[in-house]
Amino acid sequence: MKFRIDRETFADAVQWAGRTVPARPALPMLSGLRLESVDGADSRLSIASYDYEVSGRVEAVADVAEAGVALVNGRLLVDIARALPQQPVDVETEGTRLRVRCGRSTFELPTLPVEEYPPLPPMPEPSGGVPGTVLAGAVAQVAVAAGRDDALPFLTGVRIEVDGEQVTLAATDRYRLAVRTLRWTPRDPAFSAAALVPARTLADTAKALAHADEVHLAFGSASLGEGLLGIEGLDRRTTTRLLEGDFPKYRSLLPSESPTVARVETAALTEAVKRVALVAERSSAVKMLFNGSEVVLEAGAGDDAIGLDAIECSVSGAPMERIAFNPTYLLEGLAAINQPVTNMAFTNPNKPAVLTGAASFEADAADDYLYLLMPVRLPA
Amino acid sequence: MSRSQITRPHAPTGLGDDDAGCPILHVDMDAFFASVEVARRPELRGRPMIVGGTGSRGVVVAATYEARQYGIHSAMPMSRALRLAPDIVVVPPDHAHYAAVSAAVMAMFTAITPKVEPLSLDEAFLDVGGARRVHGSPRQIAARIRAQVHDEQGITCSVGIAPTKFVAKLASTQCKPDGLLVVPADRVVAFLHPMPVGALWGVGERTEEQLHRLGLRTVGDIAHTPRSTLVRALGRAAGTHLAELAWGRDERTVSTMERERSVGAEETFARDVDDPAVILAELLRLSEKVGARMRRAGFAGSTVSIKVRFADFTTITRSHTRRVPTDVSREIFHEARGLYLGLHLDRARIRLVGVRVEGIVEADAVEAQLVLGAPERGWREAEEAVDRLTDRFGRGAVRPARLLPELQVPLSPPEGPTTTRPRER
């Protein structure tokens, strides 16, 4: 194997594929990145990684003098590629070593037995496409509510439901639930699918493809293995195994009506919650006390430190005295709302609050995103 | 008992009597449980006697000094003690009575100084530095405590008097039983340096071994070893700590803060057990017991720990702190089960298991993060109902099906009860 490649192209490609190299590989060769150079008219470098859960593959233009394959330690190659000077990079194998030269820097890495590296799962046919920035934004808004407890794997995923042109993303850790809808362009207008995708992988991948004009999602079919989702854009492809288990039937959990709606400036509430939460030890609750045209934020209690703050607030509907939330969950929700105004809809202090965004106090709430938050029940 | 025992010479090591810089007393009851039993059964006086469980797996919890002459000591398996002294008198423990005697003794201490730090039922630190004007010098106070404990409870105690806590504790150990020893401030180093390294606070078996490997056998050896060497061998915290102690420096003050409460239960199996299903069922039973006690007392706790003692007596504990305190047996068991399964034991033989909840708070001060889709009345309410039935119909009136004797449903590790509460982050 022998090729020359632009330094930035090389570093980006290695970085992308390196994201999916496992930190603690089950098998030693899974710590590797698989480099393959293809010569001829379609001369290119392809880098792949795989840990039996997630695979990553990237193709980059390279000047290939000699086709070949090599497997080298992924983390090391990522670090090296990142540190190389701004010069063309020459890579070649010599016996069992891989040499990387760039300007006056030279690295030699031992190669791993590439024939033992597992074949990557085939990429399913794309089912449709969506602009990278739309997907990245939507996934980030939803993934924040996903669980992080591997003991409950079905809560660590983002549920993707496709119905024709409509895509719905949802995630919950049972303390909050985020739901986002968006439009996409399916190859088949009648396409429908549902999948539970590991939230972290989906968020990382969507973020890395945020500047792609179009990102393709490829839902596995019966013939290609159903437990797989492919994501493709910018000559980068990821496949991830889907999670098993029943995602909660969340639609029935959304409150059918909310007698009280409070409107606040998102930034003002965020700042106030952050301030009072300084005294909320171990994420103890932040109380919201509604009082005319303002809401008072209060954290801490009794003999311990207490924090108070107040912001403007317009309440409509039935009167609501107070409700309390875990400040971290509230702040994560406000950040995900991503709109200047937040509408908070309440039923009562022990029922879920539903947060939606709006462009202004006068505007209607955006109907493409909601963040449902379970309150904290205060001691009697 | 003759008073001569109480007034025997005090300073066996010839350290002198100067208690001027010695505000700390360590008071330690002698063979406490055994002495309390002797006090209420005078016919046992002078006879070898032990307090302990009589079952096949019982252990000695206390032994009179007469019994100790047979080589019997507390924590020894009862079967072994009975082999050493087949005719010995065995008295089953009466913890309620010991607690009452202990409370009376502690109350007496608090009448002398508010600065009392109980370490257990039978020992406490006292700081009498501020009591001189009213109650006299530390030595006078100690003598009075010893006389009063004897008069009121009919048992003896030993008192160490020193400038610091750990030296006072060493002093009481030195003068046991029924003794009093002052270690004057200017004699602390002379008192400490001939002692074996194991006498120092914080030196257990493993550290002792490490010190021996460095050729350090006495406290004096440690004192004359460069601190950097100790730090290299034992780590920064332990190395610095020992270097300080070896010169008698101990910054700890007598802390009157109530020791953190905890609620726990443990069980020694009749025979060693290696079956995970049996161990999980026992953890469930203990969790039920702990949960019921906590609810009765109005406590909730955030840290759940388990204790596992293996057949060879090595003992480990593991704990997990939840974000929200609980008093729900089912949640306590969920944590205990996770901790046990996290040990990844390969059918190791287990002698004892225990479940404990620490980080206790008042249950009605707990904030509850509500869970999406959960019924408003859940396990906690179900368990409160069980508590009421237990009050009315007796223990075991309602219990988990797995704990029904006639219905030994196996509790295999991969299944078990699944609560859908995410683990705390």
Residue at token pair 């795989």: A50
Using one digit for the tens of pLDDT, what is the confidence trace for B82-105? 889 888 999 998 888 998 999 999
* pLDDT of amino acid B200: 87
Cβ contact, residue pair B373, A376, below 8 Å? no
Q: What average pLDDT does this structure show over B38-65?
A: 86
Judging contacts by C-beta atoms under 8 Å, the chain B residues touching residue A284 are: 367
d(CA A18, CA A74): 6
d(CA B216, CA B225): 9
Cis bond leading into A113, ω under 30°? Answer: no
* pTM exceeding the 0.90 threshold for the entire prediction: no
Cβ contact, residue pair A151, B423, below 8 Å? yes
A55 neighbors A238 (Cβ within 8 angstroms): yes
Confidence check: pLDDT of A268 > 70 = yes
Using one digit for the tens of pLDDT, what is the confidence trace for A132-157? 999 999 999 999 999 987 777 889 99
- Tell me, yes or no, if A174 comes closer than 8 A to chain B by beta carbon: yes
Confidence check: pLDDT of B281 > 60 = yes
CA distances from A43 to A18, A70, A139 (A): 22, 17, 35
Cα A323 from chain centre: 30
* pLDDT of amino acid B27: 96
Q: Which two tokens stand for residue B424?
A: 């705390």
Using one digit for the tens of pLDDT, what is the confidence trace for A108-141? 999 999 988 999 988 888 999 999 999 999 999 9
d(CA B373, CA B368): 15
Alpha-carbon gap: B374 to the closest alpha carbon of chain A (Å): 9
A141 neighbors A170 (Cβ within 8 angstroms): no
A57 neighbors A46 (Cβ within 8 angstroms): yes
Kindly state the percentage of chain A with pLDDT values over 70: 97
- The model's confidence at residue B18, banded by pLDDT at 50, 70 and 90, is confident
How many cross-chain Cβ pairs, A to B, lie less than 8 Å apart? 61
Cβ contact, residue pair A253, B373, below 8 Å? yes
* pLDDT of amino acid A326: 92
d(CA B104, CA B28): 14
* pLDDT of amino acid A8: 92
Q: Which two tokens stand for residue B363?
A: 């249950």
The type of residue at A286 is: V
Judging contacts by C-beta atoms under 8 Å, the chain A residues touching residue B370 are: 350, 374-377
A312 neighbors A267 (Cβ within 8 angstroms): no
Cβ contact, residue pair A253, B364, below 8 Å? no
Cβ contact, residue pair A152, B422, below 8 Å? yes
d(CA A128, CA B68): 83
Alpha-carbon gap: B372 to the closest alpha carbon of chain A (Å): 5
- Tell me, yes or no, if B422 comes closer than 8 A to chain A by beta carbon: yes
A161 neighbors A167 (Cβ within 8 angstroms): yes
Judging contacts by C-beta atoms under 8 Å, the chain B residues touching residue A151 are: 338, 422-423
* pLDDT of amino acid B1: 41
Catalytic residues of B: 123
A100 neighbors A180 (Cβ within 8 angstroms): no
CA distances from A311 to A295, A308, A340 (A): 6, 11, 14
Q: Which two tokens stand for residue B324?
A: 């929200």
Confidence check: pLDDT of A225 > 70 = no
* pLDDT of amino acid B5: 40
* pLDDT of amino acid B373: 79
Is A89 exposed, middle or buried (CB count within 10 Å of its CB: 0-12, 13-18, 19+)? buried
* pLDDT of amino acid B7: 40
> What are the beta bridge partners of residue A256?
none
Alpha-carbon gap: B315 to the closest alpha carbon of chain A (Å): 27
- Tell me, yes or no, if B231 comes closer than 8 A to chain A by beta carbon: no
Q: Which two tokens stand for residue B414?
A: 């991969």
Closest-approach residue (CA) in chain B for A326:
B369
- Phi first, then psi, for residue A38 (nearest 5°) are -115, 130
Confidence check: pLDDT of B9 > 50 = no
Q: When comparing pLDDT for A99 and B252, which is higher?
A: A99
Q: State the average pLDDT for chain A.
A: 91
Cβ contact, residue pair B373, A285, below 8 Å? no
Cβ contact, residue pair B367, A151, below 8 Å? no
Using one digit for the tens of pLDDT, what is the confidence trace for B342-393? 888 888 899 999 999 988 887 777 777 888 877 666 777 778 788 777 777 7
- Tell me, yes or no, if B415 comes closer than 8 A to chain A by beta carbon: no
Confidence check: pLDDT of B217 > 60 = yes
Kindly state the percentage of chain B with pLDDT values over 70: 88
- Phi first, then psi, for residue A263 (nearest 5°) are -115, 130
Alpha-carbon gap: A372 to the closest alpha carbon of chain B (Å): 9
Confidence check: pLDDT of B64 > 80 = yes
* CA neighbours closer than 13 Å in the CB half-sphere of residue A14: 26
Judging contacts by C-beta atoms under 8 Å, the chain B residues touching residue A376 are: 367-370
